Amino acid sequence: MGHELKSWFQLDARKLIWLICAITVIITFQYLELLSENVFSAVVPSGKISVEGQSSFLASAPSSTELDGTIRYVTHSIGLECNGTYAGSETVHGNEVSEERDMDSNDDVISETDVDLNKSSTFEEGSESPKESLSEELVDLIKNSTVYDAESSKSMTTAEVEGGLSLELSKENNMATLDSLNQTSAVNEATNDFGTYEVNDKDQNSDSILDNDNNSGRKSSSEEFEDYPESYNNKTVAKEAPTTIADMNNLLYRSRVSYHSTTPRWASAADKVLLNVRSQIEKAPILENDQQLYAPLYRNVSMFKRSYELMESTLKVYIYKEGKKPIFHKPVLKGIYASEGWFMKQLQANRNFVTKKPREAQLFYLPFSSRMLEETLYVPDSHSIQNLVEYLKNYADTIAAKYPYWNRTQGADHFLVACHDWATSETKEYMANCIRALCNSDIREGYIFGKDVSLPETTIRNPQRPLRDLGGEPPSKRSILAFFAGGMHGYLRPILLQQWGNKDPDMKIFGTMHNGKGKLNYAQHMKRSKYCICPRGYEVNSPRVVEAIFYECVPVIISDNFVPPFFEVLNWESLAVFVLEKDIPNLKKILLSIPDERYRQMQLSVKKAQQHFLWHPRPVKYDIFHMILHSVWYNRVLQMEKPR
C-alpha cells in the first residue's frame, strides 16, 4: 500500500512539473509574439486591404483584391506634390549630392549608380545615424497611411490597426527593424562598397561586377558634393491616388485633342512643313508584316512608321553654339546619366538632321548637360539649386536676345535632353514651354503629356563597348521567377526587401549583391529571371527598366506616377508588368497569375523592343538615339494646331 501511494505521488509530481513547463512556454511564446507583432506591424502592418485603387499590372490577371478578398496590407499613397516637393522625409550627408557615385581612378568620365539619381541616404554631422533615420521614416509613412478592413468595411488609421498598438518604437527596436529590412545591404554612410559596379576595362572579357546597383566608374564619396536642395528634404506623404498606366493612356489621348503649343508670333516655313507632316502621319497607310517593327509593341505601328520616315527625310535641327564647357557641349558618356551625353554627342556629329541655317530648322536644341550643371555649379551646404536655375535662365535670355527663334514660339520649338533628377526643377519655370526629354518623368513633378518626353535612363559601364553582354536566356531556361538587387534608396526598396528578402525561393530579392565563387552575379541573375523588379529609388525613374530589356527580362515597374520611356509611341502593356507600390505584398501572386502564354508574349515584345533601347557607337535605324529624337519630333508635330 505504501509503495503504491509513493508511486502515485511521484507520477502526480511529474504531471505537475510538465503542466507548469507547458504554461511557461505558452506565456513566453505569446509574449514574444506580441513583441514581434509590434515591431512588424510598425513597419508593414498586415490586416487591411487598400481601397485606393487596384494594381494595374496589365497582364490579364485579376487585381490584388480579386486574388484574395481576405488579403490585408497597409497602403501608402506616396508620391510627389504638384509643386515639386517630395513625399517622404530624407536627410543629407557628407559628400553626396544625389546618389553614391565613385570615380574610376583611370577614367575622367563621370559615372553614377542607380540610386535613382539625386539623393543618398546620408547624413550631416550631428544628425541621427542612418539606421535610426530610415526606420523612423518608414514609421512616419505608416502613421500617415490609411488602411481598409475588408471584413468590417471600416476605414481607419494605421494607429487603430490591431487593437490600436502603438507605433512609437524605441531606438533599439528601430535599429533591429532596419537591420531586418537591409539584410545583406547595410546602410553605409560613406563607402564605395554601396551600390557600385567595378569593370575591368583592361580586360574586356572580365565582368567583375561587385554588386548590382548599376554602375562602373563612380566618384569616391570624398569627391561628392555635400548635400542637395532643401526642397528635396521636406517630404510629406502625398494623399492623391497614384496615376495608373491606364490613367496615363487616357491623359495621352486627351492631350492629343486638347494640348497645343504656344501660337507662333509670326508664321514661318517650318510651321507649314510640320502641318503637312501631321496630315501625312494621320493618314498613314496601314502597315502589314513589317520586318523590323513588331506591331503589338506600338500604339499605332502605321503612324509610327510614317512619322519615322518623315523625320528621316524632313527634320532639321539647329544646335546653338552658345554656352561654354563643361556645362554645354561636353557629353558624359559613362554611368546612369549617359543618355543625355550620348544623345548630345551623336546629334552634334549627325549630318542628316543638323543644319547650320536656323531658318531651315523645325527644332532647336539646347545642348547642356544637367549632370555637369550640378557638378560644376552646385554649392555644398546651400540646400538650394536657385543658382543653377538662374544659370539656365541667363542662357535662355542670351539665346532670346541674340536670335529671334525663341521669341517667335516662347521656346515651344526648342528642346532639351536631361537625365539628372534636378533637371525637372531646374527647367520647369524658364524652360517650361520647351519640349523636355527627362529621365525623371514624374507626373507629379510637372510632366506634360503631348509635350514632354520620357527619356530612357541607361547604364553605360564601358563607352567603348556599350552592347557588351547583351541578351539573355530563352524563356524555357529562365528558372528564377523574379529578381531584384540594389541599394536601399528611397522609401520603397526597404519595404520590398522586408516583404520578400530571403522569404521565398522563387523571389530573389536582395540588397546590394557582391560576387562570390560559384554565385551568380547581377547580370547573370537578370539573364535567368522571368521578371526583373524595377522599383523606384529616390525618384520614379531607374535604369533597371532599360537593363531588364537589355537582358531580355520582362520588367516589373513598381513606381507610381512614372511615365515609361517613349510612351507616346510604345504600347507598354505589351512588354511590362505595372504594380502599384501598395501592392508589393501581393507581388508574387500577381506574377504567378500571369499565364505562361501571356508571359511569353511579353518576353517576345521585350526582345522586339530591345532595338529601341541600345546605344551604338554610330547610330543605326530605330536605335535609342533615333527614338529620342523621334519622340521630340513626334510631339512637336502633333502639337501643331490645324488651321480652322
Q: Is the Cβ–Cβ distance between 446 and 426 less than 8 Å?
A: no
**Could you tell me what percent of the chain has a pLDDT over 90?**
58
Higher-confidence residue: 603 or 100? Answer: 603
Model confidence band, residue 498 (pLDDT cutoffs 50, 70, 90): very high
Task: Kindly tell me the burial class for residue 42, based on how many C-beta atoms sit within 10 Å of its own C-beta (0-12, 13-18, 19 or more).
Answer: buried
Residue 384 has pLDDT above 80, yes or no: yes
Ranges assigned E (strand) in 537-594: 554-558, 577-578
For residue range 135-155, list pLDDT tens digits in order. Answer: 344 434 333 333 323 333 333
> Which DSSP letter does residue 562 get?
B
Predicted confidence (pLDDT) per residue in 326-378, tens digit: 999 999 999 999 999 999 999 999 999 999 999 999 999 999 999 999 999 99
- Residue 54 above 60 pLDDT? no
| H-helix or E-strand spanning residue 492 | helix 492-500
Residues 567-595, mean pLDDT to the nearest whole number: 98
Q: Beta-carbon neighbour count of residue 16 at 10 Å?
A: 10
Q: Where are the domains of the chain?
A: 245-460+628-639, 475-613
Closest by CA to 556, choosing from 611, 613, 481, is 481
Grid coordinates representing 392? 539656365
Q: What are phi and psi of 208, to 5 degrees?
A: -85, 75
Q: From 458, 459, 394, select the one nearest 431 (Cα to Cα).
A: 394
- The cell for 517 is 565563387
Residues in the chain: 644
pLDDT attached to residue 17: 73
Pick the residue with more confidence: 57 or 315? 315
How far is residue 592's CA from residue 100's CA, in Å, rounded to a whole number? 35
Amino acid, single-letter form, for residue 298: Y
Residue 552's contacts (CB-CB under 8 Å, 6 or more residues apart) are 471, 472, 473, 527, 603, 606, 607, 610
Kindly tell me if the per-residue pLDDT of 476 is higher than 60.
yes
Phi/psi of residue 64, nearest 5 degrees: -60, -35
Q: Which amino acid is at 38?
A: N
Q: What is the mean pLDDT of residues 544-548?
A: 98
Give the C-alpha separation, 414 to 360, whole Å: 14
Q: How far is the C-alpha of 142 from the C-alpha of 121, rounded, in Å? A: 19
Provide mean pLDDT across the span 422-435: 95
Q: What single DSSP character describes residue 299?
A: S
Q: Give dist(CA 603, CA 529) in Å, integer.
A: 11
| pLDDT-wise least confident of 34-38, 371-375, 495-499, 576-580 | 34-38
* 148: helix, strand or coil: strand
User: Within its chain, how far is the Cα of 74 from the centroid?
Assistant: 22
Q: Is the pLDDT of residue 56 over 90?
A: no
Is the per-residue pLDDT at 267 higher than 60? Answer: yes
Distance CA 542, CA 457 (A): 7
How high is the pLDDT of residue 31? 57
Topology classification of domain 475-613: Rossmann fold (3.40.50)
List C-alpha distances in Å: 274 to 541, 547, 566, 609.
31, 35, 20, 27
Find where cell 539606421 sits: 131
pLDDT, mean over the chain? 74
Which residues, in sequence order, are CB contacts of 345 under 8 Å at separation 6+? Answer: 331, 333
pLDDT in tens, 273-318: 999 999 999 999 999 889 999 999 999 999 999 999 999 999 999 9
Torsion sign (Cα): 411, 412, 414, 418: positive
Rounded Cα gap, residues 110 and 104, in angstroms? 8
Q: Per-residue pLDDT for 517 more than 90? A: no
- 401 φψ region: left (φ > 0), alpha (ψ -120 to 50), beta (else): alpha
Of residues 512, 540, 498, 501, the one with CA closest to residue 138: 498
User: What is the rounded distance in angstroms from the CA atom of residue 31 to the CA atom of residue 531?
Assistant: 40
Task: Show the cell assigned to 374.
Answer: 550640378
CA distance 43 to 488: 15
Write down the pLDDT at residue 643: 65
Is 158:147 a contact under the CB 8 Å cutoff? yes
**Which range among 66-80, 279-293, 438-452, 516-530 shows the weakest confidence by mean pLDDT?**
66-80
Report the b/e string of 84-95 with b at 16+ CB within 10 A: ebbbbbbbbbbb
Helix axes 2-43, 130-143, angle to 10 degrees: 90
Q: Using CA atoms, how far apart are residues 301 and 293, in angstroms rounded to an integer? A: 7
**pLDDT tens-digit readout, 197-255:** 222 333 333 333 333 444 333 332 223 333 445 444 434 344 579 999 999 999 999 99
pLDDT at 253: 94
C-alpha distances out from residue 408 to 258, 265, 413, 414, 638, Å: 22, 5, 9, 11, 18
Predicted confidence at residue 143, as pLDDT, reads: 37
* pLDDT at residue 50 greater than cutoff 70: no
Q: What is the DSSP letter of 460?
A: B
Q: Name, of 16-25, 40-49, 170-179, 499-508, the range with top average pLDDT.
A: 499-508
Q: What pLDDT is recorded for position 11?
A: 52
Given a contact cutoff of 8 angstroms between Cβ atoms, the answer to whether 488 and 120 are in contact is no
Residues 6+ apart with CB under 8 A from 504: 588
Q: For residue 643, what are the contacts with CB-CB under 8 A and spacing of at least 6?
A: 275
The whole-number average pLDDT for the span 394-412 is: 97
Integer Cα distance of 622 and 605 in angstroms: 15
Nearest CA to 223 among 256, 190, 194, 266?
A: 190
Cα 365 vs. chain centroid, distance in angstroms?
26
- Least Cα distance to 199 among 483, 463, 537, 478 occurs for 463
Of 345, 346, 318, give the one whose Cα is nearest residue 620.
346
Quote the pLDDT of residue 275: 95
CB atoms within 10 A of CB 474: 11
Is the pLDDT at 266 greater than 70? The verdict is yes
Q: How confident is the model at residue 429 (pLDDT cuts 50, 70, 90)?
A: very high
* CA 315/CA 318 separation, integer angstroms: 10
Q: pLDDT-derived band of residue 12, with 50, 70 and 90 as boundaries?
A: low
Q: Is the distance from CB of 224 to CB of 98 less than 8 angstroms?
A: no
